[in-house]
Structure 1
Amino acid sequence: MSKTAKYSIAIAVLLAANLWLFLGSSSSYQKTVERYFDSSDLEGVSGFEFVFGTDTVRITLTGEGWIVNDTYKADQNFVNTLISVLERVEVGGVIENWDSNVLGKVEVEFDFNSRYRFDFASNPNKTRSYFITENGAREVSVPGYRDNVVDIFMLHPDQWRDRLVFDGSWRTIQKLKVENSKDDDFEISFVDKFFLVNGEQPSDSSAVVDYLNQFQQFQANEMISPGRFEELDSISSTEPFAIVTINDIKSDDPIRLEVFASKPGQSYHLVKDQDGQGMVIGAGRVRQILSNPERLN
C-alpha cells in the first residue's frame, strides 16, 4: 500500500471533523455575498452524483434514509454536512473561457426530478476551487473552511458509508465470546442477574460493564471494499487470529467479527463481519476488545 493509500483511510474521519468544527462555530461574517446554490432548493435535494477518476459516488434519498451506490447505508450526518457546506458556497470571480483540465463532475438532484450539473476543478497547488458550466467557470469558496471545497467530491465511495458496526451495551448483550490464538480466550455471559466471566463471578463487576459498554455506537475507522487496497486484500486471504462473537437481544443472529493480524508499522487491523464486509479498526480499540476485563484489575 502506498503512503497516499495509507493516509486515505483516515480522510473521511478527518474531513468530517473539519466540517463539523467549521459548521458548529459561530461566524461574524456580515459582508453581502452571492451564494452558488439557493438554500430553498437545497431543502429539497434528493440525490448527488460525483464522478472522479474511476470512482462514481451516487448518494440517493430513500424511505430508509440516504443510500450510497444503491447498496450501502450512507453516513447520514456526513450527508447533512455536505448539504450544509453547499448551502454556504460563495461565488467569487468568473472565468468565461475555461481552458484548463477538470477534476470531475457533479450532479445534484432536486425533488427527485430536476438536476443541476457542473464540472469541478482546482488550481495546480490545490488552493482554489472552481465550478464550471457552459456559462464559464466560477471560483467558489466557503468562508472559514480550511480545505479546498472540491475535495469533498473526491472521496472514495467507501468514505461516504455508514461506519456503524454494532450498537450494544451491558443492558443488551447476552453473551460475548473471544477466541484469540495470540492470547487467552474468554467468554462473558449473562446468567440470572448479572454476568459471569468464564463461568465465574467477576472480581470487578464495573470492569465487565465498562468492557461491554465499549460497543455502544461502535464504529469502524472506515469501511473497505475489495480491490481498494492490495495490501488489505492480501491480509484478508489469511486466517484471522481472533474471532469475537456477540449475542445481543436486539439481533436475531450473532454478530461475528474476524480480526486479522496487522503488518509491521500498521496502526490498525483489518476486520470482517459475519457478512464478509471488510473494515479497518484502530489497533488500540482492537486490543481493548480482545482484553479479558478480569485481567484489567
Structure 2
Amino acid sequence: MSKSVKYIVAILLLLIANFWLFFSGGSKEVKSSEKYFNAEDLEGVSAFEFTYDLDTINISKTGEGWIVNDQYLADQGFINTLISVLERVEVKSTLGNLETQILGSVTVEFDFNSRYRFQYATNPNKTRSYFLTDAGVKEVSVPGYRDNVVDIFTLHPDQWRDRTIFDGSWRTIQKIIIENEEGDNFQILFDEKFFLINGNQPADSSAVIGYLNQFERFQANEMISTGRFNEMDSIAGTEPFARLSIEDIKYETPIRLEIFRNKPNQPYHLVQDQDGQRMVIDARRVRQILSNPDRLN
C-alpha cells in the first residue's frame, strides 16, 4: 500500500470517527455544574447563623444594615462577599458516607421566614469542603475561589464586624488633637478659610490636606473583643502612650482613640475608642497619624 493510499485511509477513519462522535451520545452538551443554592433564594436572605467550636454567630438584616450578634454593625461589604460566595457554590460530587469530623453548622434564613440548615466539614488536609444534610453529603467548591469554602464559616465574630473607625476628610474635619508622649503634641484647627497648626499657618498646606485625608474611610485592621487574646488584654491594662481626638461636622461628638505601645517586632498597635471598643491598627499607619504635617519638610 502506497503512502498516499495510507493517508487517504487515515483521513477517512478520522472523518468516520468525527461523524460518530457528532451523532452519538458523545456529542451531547456537557451538563452545567449544579449550583448548591438557588441565586433567587439568596436575593431574599435575611439572616445567617454559624456555629463553630464554642462560637455561635448570628448575622441578621435590619433597617440599619446587617448586625452581628444583635450588637455590632457588620462589615456590609463582607456580607456581600459571603452571599456572592454562596451563590457560586457548586456541587462536585455526592458521597455516601463521610469519615471526617463535622466542624459546625450553618442556618440560612430567607425572607425572615423559612430556614435551611446544613452541617459542614473538610478533609484532614483542608483542601476539600463538604455540606451535610439528611439528604446526604455533597462535596462543594467555588470556581476561582482560592480558599476552602467552609473557612468562611469558621471566622471569629470580631472578623464579621464593621472595621470603620472614622470617615472624614479635610473638607469635613474641624479639629484634631494629638497627645504623644513619644513625639510631638499638636493641634490642627479649621479657622474660617483653612487650618492652623498649633495656632500658626502651616508651612505646606498640601501636607495638611494629605494628613487629614488619611482619615477618609479610616478602618482598623481588625476589631478585638475582650478576652479573645490574653496578650491584648495585658496591653490594655497599661497606660496609652498617645491619644487622638477628631471633631468632624458629620459626627455629633468627637471620636477619641487611645493608642497603646506595641511589643518589639509587633507590627500593629492596640487602640481603644471612647466606647471601650478595642481594635488593632497597623504600626505604619499609627506613625503617620502621630506625625505632625508641619514637620514633614
TM-score (norm 2): 0.89
1:247-290 Cα deviation digits (max 9, x unpaired): 11111211101000000110000000110100000000000000
Q: Which residue number corresponds to residue 88 of structure 1? A: 88
Question: Structure 2 matches for 1:1-297, cutoff 5 A?
Answer: 32-297=32-297
In 2, are the aligned partners of 1:105 and 1:120 still within 8 Å (CA)? Answer: yes
1:13-40 Cα deviation digits (max 9, x unpaired): xxxxxxxxxxxxxxxxx96110000111
What SS class does the counterpart of residue 35 from structure 2 fall into?
coil
Give the percent of matched residue pairs that are identical in Structure 1 and Structure 2: 69
What SS class does the counterpart of residue 103 from structure 1 fall into?
strand
Whole-Å separation in 1 of the counterparts to 2:102 and 2:276: 37
Whole-Å separation in 1 of the counterparts to 2:72 and 2:202: 40
In 1, are the aligned partners of 2:108 and 2:116 still within 8 Å (CA)? Answer: yes
In 2, are the aligned partners of 1:88 and 1:142 still within 8 Å (CA)? Answer: yes
Whole-Å separation in 2 of the counterparts to 1:100 and 1:145: 23
Classify 1:186/1:148 alpha carbon distance in 2 versus 1 (closer, same or farther; 3 Å).
same
Whole-Å separation in 2 of the counterparts to 1:182 and 1:100: 53
Alignment root-mean-square deviation, CA? 1.0
What SS class does the counterpart of residue 159 from structure 1 fall into?
helix
Whole-Å separation in 2 of the counterparts to 1:281 and 1:31: 48
Q: Shift in Å at residue 96 of structure 1?
A: 2.4
What SS class does the counterpart of residue 57 from structure 2 fall into?
strand
In 2, are the aligned partners of 1:239 and 1:260 still within 8 Å (CA)? Answer: yes
Q: One-letter code of the match for 1:119?
A: Q
Q: Which runs of 4+ in 1 moved over 2 A?
A: 96-100
In 1, are the aligned partners of 2:122 and 2:128 still within 8 Å (CA)? Answer: yes
In 1, are the aligned partners of 2:100 and 2:122 still within 8 Å (CA)? Answer: no
1:189-235 Cα deviation digits (max 9, x unpaired): 01121111011111101100110010000000011100011000000
Give the count of matched residue pairs: 268
1:166-211 Cα deviation digits (max 9, x unpaired): 0011111111000001111000001121111011111101100110
Q: Shift in Å at residue 99 of structure 1?
A: 4.1
Whole-Å separation in 2 of the counterparts to 1:294 and 1:99: 64
Classify 1:46/1:294 alpha carbon distance in 2 versus 1 (closer, same or farther; 3 Å).
same
**Worse-superposed segment, 226-235 or 247-256:** 247-256
Q: One-letter code of the match for 1:137?
A: V
Q: One-letter code of the match for 2:104?
A: G
TM-score (norm 1): 0.89
1:140-181 Cα deviation digits (max 9, x unpaired): 001111111000000000001111000011111111000001
Whole-Å separation in 2 of the counterparts to 1:132 and 1:164: 36
Q: Shift in Å at residue 97 of structure 1?
A: 2.9
**Worse-superposed segment, 98-107 or 160-169:** 98-107
In 2, are the aligned partners of 1:98 and 1:136 still within 8 Å (CA)? Answer: no
Q: Which runs of 5+ in 2 are unaligned?
A: 1-29
In 1, are the aligned partners of 2:100 and 2:123 still within 8 Å (CA)? Answer: no
Q: One-letter code of the match for 2:284?
A: G
Q: Which residue number corresponds to residue 3 of structure 2? A: none
Whole-Å separation in 2 of the counterparts to 1:41 and 1:171: 42
In 1, are the aligned partners of 2:94 and 2:137 still within 8 Å (CA)? Answer: yes
Question: Max radius of gyration: which structure?
Answer: 2
